[in-house]
Amino acid sequence: MSVSLRVLDDGAWVSVNDAREVSVSELWRLDDPSFCGCELPDFVVENILDVGADGRTISARVYGQCIACGQTGVPGWVPVGRLREGEFVDIDRERVVLPVRRGDDDE
């Protein structure tokens, strides 16, 4: 089953199958100590740059900043939801620690 994934409205949100599923302005706790000096960056999402699927996991690359230390930038791929039988299943992004996957093209 094909799933359409895209970023729309100047990076305001992620569309999964033509429905708005992930929005900017969320606060995510990232497991990405390489992003800044904080053990678990407290990251506000300002712009969504890209979205992709790895198996059943939907991940996004986003621009934002750690509100604890002020570091801005783009962490690696952050999981934002999962696919179950072609349907998007949300994860509670503001309450769970999100494991960041660094890609080959990340610094």
Partner 1 sequence: MPTDVERWKSEVYGNEIREHLLEFAEQGWDTIPEDERDAWFERFKWWGLYHQRNGQESYFMMRIGTPNGVLTPGQTEVVAEVADEYARGPAENPIFGNGYVDWTTRQSIQLHWIKLEDIPEIFEKLESVGLSTQQACGDSWRNIVGCPVAGKDKHEHVDALPVAMELNETFKGNDDHSNLPRKWKVSVTGCREGCGQGDINDLALEPATKEIDGEETKGFNIRIGGGLSRNEPRLARDIDVFVTPEQAAEVSGAISALFRENGDRDNRYNARIKFLMDEWGAEKFRNVLQEEFVDFELETAGDDLRSEYSYNSGYADGGHSDHVGIHEQADGNYYVGLDVLVGRMGVDDTKELARVADEYGSGEIRITQRQNVIITDVPEEKLDALQDEDLLDHYSPDPHPFMRGSIACTGTEFCSLSIVETKNRQVRYARWLKENVELPAGVEDFHIHLSGCTASCAQPQIADISLRGMKTRKDGEPVEALDIGLGGGLGENPNFAEWVTQRVPVDEVPGAIKNLLANFEERREGDETFREFVARTDEEDLAELVEPEETSYEDPMMHNTKRTWYPYAEDDSMDASPAPTHGDGTPITSDD
Where does this chain bind partner 1 (CB under 8 A)? 4, 6, 8-13, 15, 17-20, 23-27, 42, 44, 46-47, 49, 65, 67, 70, 94
Nearer to partner 1, 27 or 56 (CB): 27
Query: Considering the complex, what minimum distance in angstroms separates the CB of residue 7 from partner 1?
Result: 9
The residue among 39, 40, 22, 41 whose CA lies nearest residue 79 is 22
Query: Considering the complex, what minimum distance in angstroms separates the CB of residue 35 from partner 1?
Result: 16
In single-letter form, the type of residue at position 97 comes to V
Query: Considering the complex, what minimum distance in angstroms separates the CB of residue 89 from partner 1?
Result: 16
Q: Which residues neighbour 24 within 8 Å (Cβ) at sequence distance 6 or greater?
A: 11, 12, 13, 45, 46, 47, 48, 62
